């Protein structure tokens, strides 16, 4: 009786008195998800970012046809997903040899067990490790330095197989629309390896809508304009936008993303070169060379451009060494 006559009205009074205050606090609380327009964000909160990262790594697992280290293996050669590294959008933290993360088998169970899961290094599109014997580093032209024994052959095998890793990247973006790497990597593989620049551009536009201040997305848009469309003017404009966005977002940071800045400058120099603005191209490359982590990486290009510049004033120019040495 006491319970129903005293405690119940008291509890109701506390609830009614406390509700407006609690409601105001909840509306202003940072962890409040009810304001989110994204259903997954409301449902999963920040855990969707972890899930997005996992899905991104799954794309790398597919790139290696299932041959991938677990948390129990040596992951030194897989610290940075290779799909991001190959796309030239992630600075490599990989060391060691990606072929031997398992090491020699310790016992007969391990030796026998390796028959039943992918235990040899391959990449999507390769004809079952034909490339493993030849460590084709020299063919790698992305503007980043490899600190580990990572190889691939861009032209070998069935490039249509690259599509198999794209669903994971798409799902990664669905989980976390702010995950820039997923847009960049998917766009790179769509454009560069599958020749689907329209799909790549549409995906990047979606990324820009979700992340209007991302310098990386404008950089990738510039690559589509320059490499796929051959529109150097538009590419130059996009790289300028990327540079502006970089300055806005990175200069105040303790550790600015110099890797991406060097990429933007190097590609902008390539656009300048195509537009015949050799002076600007040299200036851009010198800047990139100064800030690049891989010292001397741009030196051959710089020397060639300087030669080109001096030969423009020289009445008897030296013989051109063809387009092979020009590409970035």
Partner 1 sequence: MNTVFTVGAVVLKEAYRRKDVYVLFFLTVLLTLLAGTVTFFEDLSMVRLVKEIALLLIWIATLVIAVTMTARQIPMERESRTIFPLLAKPIARSELLLGKFWGCWLATGLTLLVFYAFFGVVCASREAEWAWGQYAQALVLHWAMLAVVIAMTLFGSLVFAAPSSTNTIVLVVVTGILLMGRHLGKVAMALPEPQQSILYGLYFVIPHLEFFDVRDLIVHAWPMLAWPVVGLALLYAAAYTAVFLSLAVWTFRRKSLT
Binding partner 1 (rule: CB under 8 A), the pick from 9, 18, 45, 113 is 113
Instruction: Give dist(CA 292, CA 150) in Å, integer.
Output: 20
Give me the phi and psi of 96, to 5 degrees please.
85, -175
Please identify, among the stretches 10-18, 64-72, 83-91, 175-183, the one whose residues bind partner 1 according to the rule CB under 8 A. 64-72
Nearer to partner 1, 46 or 110 (CB): 110
- Give me the least distance between CB of 63 and partner 1, in Å please: 10
Q: Closest separation between CB of residue 194 and partner 1, Å?
A: 9
**Stretch of residues binding partner 1 (CB under 8 A), selected from 3-11, 115-123, 130-138, 245-253:** 115-123
Return the percent helix, strand and coil in the chain, to nearest 5.
60, 0, 40
Site for partner 1, residues 194 to 253, rule: CB under 8 A: 196, 199, 203
Distances (CA, A) of 48 to 42, 129, 173: 10, 35, 10
Stretch that binds partner 1, among 23-31, 116-124, 140-148, 222-230 (CB under 8 A): 116-124
Among 106, 254, 255, 327, binds partner 1 (CB under 8 A): 106
Binding-site string for partner 1 from residue 131 to residue 170, where x marks contact by CB under 8 A and - marks none: -----------------------------x--xx-xxx-x
Residue 118 sits in the site that holds partner 1 (CB under 8 A): yes
What pairing do the DSSP bridges indicate for beta strands 148-149 and 96-97?
parallel
Q: How far is the CB of 118 from partner 1 (least distance, A)?
A: 5
* 192 DSSP 8-state letter: I
User: What are the phi and psi torsion angles at 147 (to 5°)?
Assistant: -100, 10
| By the rule CB under 8 A, 127 interacts with partner 1 | no
> Closer CB to partner 1, residue 172 or residue 328?
172
Residue among 62 and 287 whose Cβ is closer to partner 1: 62
Closer CB to partner 1, residue 40 or residue 280?
Answer: 40
Q: What residues have CB less than 8 Å from 318, skipping those under 6 apart? A: 307, 311
Query: Rounded to the nearest 10 degrees, how much is the dihedral formed by the CA atoms of 109, 122, 224, 200?
Result: -50
Of 73, 134, 279, 314, the residue at the interface with partner 1 (CB under 8 A) is: 73
Residue 39 within binding range of partner 1, rule CB under 8 A: no
**Ranges within 183-202 binding partner 1 (CB under 8 A):** 186, 190, 196, 199
H/E run at residue 169 = helix 166-175
**Least distance to partner 1 from the beta carbon of 214, Å?**
20
Angstrom distance (rounded) from CA 261 to CA 242: 9
d(CA 227, CA 235): 9
Q: Report how far residue 49's alpha carbon sits from residue 173's, in angstroms, rounded to the nearest whole number.
A: 9
**In the complex, minimum distance from the CB of residue 248 to partner 1, in angstroms, rounded to a whole number:** 31
- Residue 97 phi/psi, 5-degree rounding, is -105, 125
Q: Quote the least distance from Cβ 168 to partner 1, whole Å.
A: 8
Is the Cβ–Cβ distance between 136 and 34 less than 8 Å? no
Alpha-carbon gap, residue 150 to 140, rounded angstroms: 10
Helix residue ranges per DSSP H, 5-142: 8-28, 39-44, 47-63, 82-86, 108-113
- Binding footprint of partner 1 on the chain (CB under 8 A): 62, 65-66, 70, 72-73, 106-107, 109-110, 112-113, 115-118, 128, 160, 163-164, 166-168, 170, 186, 190, 196, 199, 203
């Amino acid at each position: 009786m006491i319970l129903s006559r005293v405690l119940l009205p008291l509890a109701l009074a506390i609830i009614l008195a406390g509700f407006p205050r609690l409601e105001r606090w909840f509306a202003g609380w940072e962890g409040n998800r009810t304001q989110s327009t994204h259903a997954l964000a409301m449902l999963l909160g920040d855990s969707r970012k972890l899930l997005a990262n996992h899905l991104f790594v799954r794309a790398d697992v597919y790139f290696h046809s299932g041959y991938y280290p677990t948390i129990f293996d040596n992951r030194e050669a897989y610290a940075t997903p290779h799909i991001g590294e190959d796309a030239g959008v992630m600075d490599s933290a990989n060391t060691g040899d990606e072929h031997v993360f398992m090491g020699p088998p310790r016992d007969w169970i391990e030796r026998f067990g390796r028959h039943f899961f992918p235990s040899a290094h391959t990449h999507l599109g390769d004809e079952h490790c034909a490339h493993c014997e030849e460590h084709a580093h020299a063919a790698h032209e992305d503007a980043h330095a490899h600190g580990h024994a990572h190889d691939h052959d861009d032209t070998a095998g069935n490039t249509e197989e690259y599509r198999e890793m794209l669903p994971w990247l798409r799902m990664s973006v669905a989980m976390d629309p702010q995950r820039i790497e997923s847009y960049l990597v998917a766009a790179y593989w769509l454009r560069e390896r599958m020749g689907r620049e329209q799909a790549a551009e549409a995906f990047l536009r979606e990324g820009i809508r979700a992340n209007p201040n991302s310098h990386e997305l404008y950089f990738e848009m510039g690559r589509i304009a320059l490499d796929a469309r051959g529109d150097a003017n538009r590419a130059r404009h996009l790289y300028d936008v990327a540079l502006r966005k970089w300055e806005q977002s990175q200069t105040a940071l303790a550790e600015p993303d110099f890797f991406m800045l060097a990429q933007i400058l190097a590609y902008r120099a390539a656009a300048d070169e195509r537009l015949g603005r050799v002076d600007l191209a040299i200036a851009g490359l010198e800047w990139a060379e100064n800030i690049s982590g891989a010292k001397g990486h741009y030196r051959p290009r710089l020397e060639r451009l300087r030669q080109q510049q001096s030969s423009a004033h020289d009445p008897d120019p030296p013989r051109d060494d063809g387009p092979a040495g020009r590409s970035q």
